[in-house]
Structure 1
Amino acid sequence: MSTSSLVLVVDDEPSICWALEKMLVGEGHRVITASSAEEGLRLAAEHQPAMVILDVRLPKEDGISALPKFLAATPHCSVVIITAFGDLETAVAAVKNGATDYLTKPFKLEDALRTCRSALRKSLTQNAVSLTASSTHVSPPTGPMVIDQSVLIGVSPAMQQVFRQIALVADSDLSVLVTGETGTGKELVAAAIHRHSRRSEQTYIPIAPVTLNPELIESELFGHVKGAFTGANEDRAGLFERAEGGTILLDEIGELPLGTQVKLLRVLEQGQYCRVGEVVPRTADVRIIAATNCDLHDSVGSGEFREDLFHRLTGVQIHLPPLRDRTEDIEPLCRHFLAAMNYGFDGDPLDKSLLAELRVRPWHGNIRELKNAVGHAAVVARGRSLLVEDFPSPKPGRDHGGASPPTHLDRATRSWTQQTIDNCDGDLTDLHAKFLAAAEPSLLAVVLQVTGGNRAKAAEILGIHRGTLRDRLRVYGMDETNA
């Protein structure tokens, strides 16, 4: 960004203010800081900054409730919210109240810089699309976002990114493609988008076309007129007509027949469809969210999915990571499932060693498998703390992305690492050295046993110098081994 701008940072943590100031000054901008919303509002009205970086948790008034005041005081600025909470409700409240974007603490400076550059570009162009003082104030929702007795839970950076995407796209009418493996919660994401959109009071219909009769799928989606085919004894509205003004989730979109894909493309391009047997088109005011667990790029390449429809569906694409890539979320998910079961455990049902084991399981069925496993363990435990043996054995699953299932060594390494981190009481240093001290003696002992104590041969097998081997043996008190 070559244009110098004035940026106001409102945060009561001096280290955050200092880091953001250094970063922005390095970009050629001027920075002023405030430690409260009240002080920040006074500076904003006086100096009219191009961008405000506003923390949620502040000493008196919080950032979410103060956000509309900043937009009223500085009508042409962009506001970036920073929060340590990182839940979906905070993200949606921030965007609905007019924030341009938001960051979750702790954040990387490169991510903050990228977000600030984008926000400043918006504030410096006349065609910026943002909510200002005329925006209707929307109070932040309270409590967890419950949909069909399920809840989107995630403290991991990957899920924070998902929450951010949901918040930014919810109030638009862009079509959305949600991707991810089976059991990752794609329908929950679609329902969350609808819940936080301006269509939230209208109908939301989730449907998997693969579950419909292949001969009648177009009739199910678009309806039919009397006499259109054998058995069509009366006019019938389809799902698109019943969802008028609302949202339709088309799950497993990759299974949609090619003929029906053409008609869906017409809905997306022209906002029109025809009932089966009808000539005059009808207007479709429906937002479409699609979901798939397969790679649609491959389906396009094989001719099984239309490329033009693929591009129309991906106004925004949200990818849900598999559970094995967001292991930080296993504990809060387990606690949520257990709380919903309301079994009344004696003490904490989850100890550190159990959580370490759960984090290294492959979870091929993702959150769905975890939920079922926790339910199984809770029944077996009967109110006591859960044990590893209370859980069903890990289920075999298909190969995801060419990765091999975790080996015994991999599982043992992950378990040791997680337990060491959990038990460090915040004072963890030299983890690599500690791991070597735990694992290397066994390695050396086995190799020396294989070579009959011949250190020269052992060093050759290990790929290290004999002197290095001698030093390692001395460190571990194994130097009595015969040469």
Structure 2
Amino acid sequence: MTTRQTVLVVDDEPTICWALEKMLRGEGHQVVTASSAEEGLQLARDHQPDMVILDVRLPKTDGITALPQFLSATDNAPVVIITAFGDLETAVAAVKSGASDYLTKPFKLEDALRTCRTALQKSAQRSAPSATQPMSLDRSVLVGTSPAMQQVFRQIALVADSELSVLITGETGTGKELVAAAIARHSNRSRQAYIPIAPVALNAELIESELFGHVKGAFTGASEDRAGLFERAEGGTVLLDEIGDLSLGTQAKLLRVLEQGQYSRVGDVKPRTANVRILAATNSDLHDAVALGTFREDLFHRLTGVQIHLPPLRERRDDIAPLSQHFLAAMNYADPEIDADLLAELQRRPWHGNVRELKNSVSHAAVVARGRRLSITDFPAPKPGRDGEALSSDRSLEKIVETWTTTVLGEHPDTETLHADLLAAIEPALLRVVLTHTGGNRAKAAETLGIHRGTLRDRLRAYRIDEV
């Protein structure tokens, strides 16, 4: 049975207040509403709510400014910020100011309900930390208005101040490095070094020297002691890009850094301490790499304290317009508007190179147009996929399955559980991605998968997958 709690809703839109009040009363809670921060603060002092739902855009005092006052008035009751302007700056400012969570209008009531349930559970168990003051933030270079990017902004805001490792996944060109930089910029380590590195770009023999440093004489050409990445980033943050390409030997040494906070320079046995936060990025599926034995499972779990996935541009076409205008504005282009016909054509393109390809195409068009409003003839032709054809996820998946099957049969030629083993290797990833896509809505996930909800429940239980 749900414990009756009190919720304060502060929003100047009557329909929002009405919908949230009806939803929460349906859960058995008491609800009081206000249309301004000033009215809300008085109700907060009078009713001492267990949770506050606070809009950012209010008639006089905005929600972010008023947030510390609500925390003070309610003895740090959880506050969920809602806003129609869901950019990264607002998300981070809200969390930095003490908000427990963040919703972007328009939101689905089931998403709001799930968020409220979590906040009310925290309220019932809370021993809340004191609120911090709002942080002055530079506007992020991450751009996007699509629901998918709003979810990425929310994840960045919630994880930035933690010490958790973060695995950032997504196709080449989606902006994984920008996500890592945003996490570092908004973290408690922001005043310390942030060093991104792509080990795959280095000679295999030099990777460990670059990461851990070396002592004089460790190898040919090592004429003096040299500090590695973890020493140079002491107290700060490092990004290991394309981490799936590390050798198993280097993976083992990286695991030691994550588990024990220690490493040794190449050619030395003396242990050194590493006080760094590790972010990792990859455009490959590490679940597949673990199944194939090319990536350590224990390292995978240590890296994925939190996982942030950047969807390809073809899955968030609503971001093409704001991205294009952002690139033009960065160039100080004379006429940065994108008309409807041009936008429609850009949204039809496949964008195999994702945001990076779009940026290059917009830059090309700006040079050709020479200040006039852009037209489609100013843009280069769409780039083909691999081998001159459109990229095929079916072909890529087929290749992965072929490689996996060949490897397993080579190691276990007499196996009698091949089909079950394949399902166990790929089904958990499928379920996780679909649940993330549906925001944790199991009914919608079951519909997307084409299976009964009970079957989905059984599969999640079998794989011990928590609800997203």
Residue in structure 2 matching 1:137, options 112, 133, 141: 133
Please tell me whether residue 388 in structure 1 is matched to residue 376 in structure 2.
yes
Query: 1:37-48 to 2 correspondence within 5 Å?
Result: 37-48=37-48
Instruction: Tell me the equivalent position of 2:453.
Output: none
- Mapped partners of 1:266, 1:400: distance in 2: 38
Residue by residue over 1:61-105, the C-alpha shift from the partner in whole angstroms, topping out at 9 and shown as x without a partner, is: 110011011111111411000011000000000000000001000
* Counterpart among 343, 352, 367 of residue 379 in structure 1: 367
Distance 1:402 1:15 in 2: 44
Provide the rounded CA distance (Å) in 1 between the counterparts of 2:330 and 2:13. Answer: 36
Partners in 1 of 2:161 and 2:48 — Cα distance? 28
1:402 lines up with 2:402 in the alignment: no
Aligned residue pairs: how many? 392
Q: Deviations over 1:378-411 (max 9, x none)?
A: 122222221112111111114253289xxxxxxx
Answering whether residue 219 of structure 2 is matched by residue 229 of structure 1, we say: yes
Preserved CA contact (<8 Å) 2:98 2:132: no
AA matched with 1:272:
Q
Match for residue 152 of structure 1?
A: 142
Displacement of 1:343? 3.1
Aligned-partner residue type, residue 260 of structure 1: T
* Aligned residue identity for 1:401: S
Q: For 1:168 and 1:341, how far apart are their aligned partners in 2?
A: 32
Cross-structure match for 1:424? none
Asked whether the equivalents of residues 273 and 281 of structure 1 are also in contact (C-alpha less than 8 Å), the reply is yes
1: CA distance, partners of 2:267 / 2:392: 43
Q: Any conservation in 2 of the 1:223–1:236 contact (CA below 8 Å)?
A: yes
AA aligned to 2:5 is: S
SS in structure 2 at match of 1:278? coil
Report Cα offsets for 1:246-267 as digits up to 9, x if no partner: 0000000000111000000001
Candidates 366, 370, 389, aligned match of 2:358: 370
Equivalent residue number for residue 121 of structure 2? 121
Conserved 8 A contact 2:364-2:379: yes
1:461 maps to which residue? Answer: none
| Cα distance change on mapping 1:228 and 1:100 into 2, 3 Å | same
| CA 31–400 in structure 1, closer or farther in 2 if over 3 Å, else same | farther
SS of 1:290's equivalent in the other structure is strand
Provide the C-alpha distance between the structure 2 equivalents of 1:189 and 1:278, rounded to a whole number of angstroms. Answer: 35
The separation in 2 between residues aligned to 1:163 and 1:119, in whole angstroms, is 19
- What code does the residue aligned with 1:363 have? W
Q: Which amino acid aligns with 1:136?
A: T
Cα distance in 2, alignment partners of residues 25 and 166 from structure 1: 32
**Does the CA contact (< 8 Å) of 1:65 and 1:139 recur in 2?**
no
Give the secondary structure class of the aligned counterpart of 1:173.
coil
Q: Which amino acid aligns with 2:4?
A: S
Partner Cα separation in structure 2 for residue 371 and residue 257 of structure 1: 33
AA of the residue aligned to 2:139: P
Per-residue CA shift, 1:447-479, capped at 9, x if unaligned? xxxxxxxxxxxxxxxxxxxxxxxxxxxxxxxxx
- Structure 2 unaligned regions, length at least 5: 397-468
Corresponding residue for 2:342?
A: 354
In 1, are the aligned partners of 2:76 and 2:129 still within 8 Å (CA)?
Answer: no
Whether 2:292 is the aligned partner of 1:296: answer no
Residue 393 of structure 1 aligns with an amino acid whose one-letter code is A
Instruction: Give the corresponding residue for 1:65.
Output: 65
Q: Which runs of 4+ in 1 moved over 3 A?
A: none
How far residue 229 of structure 1 moved from its aligned partner, in angstroms, is 2.2
SS of residue in 2 equivalent to 1:198: coil
Secondary structure at 2:257's aligned position in 1? Answer: helix
Asked if 2 retains the 8 angstrom alpha-carbon contact of 1:182 and 1:366, the reply is yes
Q: Who is 1:27 aligned against?
A: 27
Contact 1:228/1:277, CA 8 A, preserved across alignment? yes
- Give CA deviations for 1:26-70 in whole Å, capped at 9, x if unaligned: 011110001111111111111111100000011111100110111
Bigger Rg over Cα: 1
1:6–1:403 Cα change, 3 Å: farther
TM-score (norm 2): 0.82
Partner of 1:78: 78
The offset of 1:228, in angstroms, is 2.0
State whether residues 199 and 240 of structure 2, in contact with CA within 8 Å, keep that contact through their aligned partners in structure 1: yes
Q: Distance in 1 between matches of 2:22 and 2:393?
A: 41
Query: In the TM superposition, what is the alpha-carbon distance from 1:159 to its structure 2 partner?
Result: 0.1
Could you tell me which runs of 5 or more consecutive residues in structure 1 were left unpaired when the two chains were aligned.
Answer: 146-150, 405-483
Aligned residue in 1 for 2:423 = none
Give the percent of matched residue pairs that are identical in Structure 1 and Structure 2.
76
Once the 2 structures are TM-superposed, how far is the Cα of residue 233 of structure 1 from its aligned partner? 2.0
User: Which of 308, 323, 346 matches 2:298?
Assistant: 308
User: Structure 1 residues 349, 45: CA separation in 2 closer, same or farther (over 3 Å shift)?
Assistant: closer
CA distance in 2, matches of 1:305, 1:203: 28
* Residue matched to 2:320: 330
Whole-angstrom distance in 2 between the partners of 1:266 and 1:165:
27
Any conservation in 2 of the 1:349–1:384 contact (CA below 8 Å)? no
Q: Secondary structure at the match of 2:394?
A: coil
TM-score normalized with structure 1 length:
0.79
Q: Is residue 265 of structure 2 the alignment partner of residue 275 of structure 1? A: yes
Letter paired with 1:43: L
Contact 1:176 1:315 in 2 (8 A): yes
Shift of 1:306: 0.3
In structure 2, how many angstroms separate the alpha carbons of the residues matched to 1:313 and 1:400? Answer: 29
Q: CA deviation at 1:136?
A: 3.0
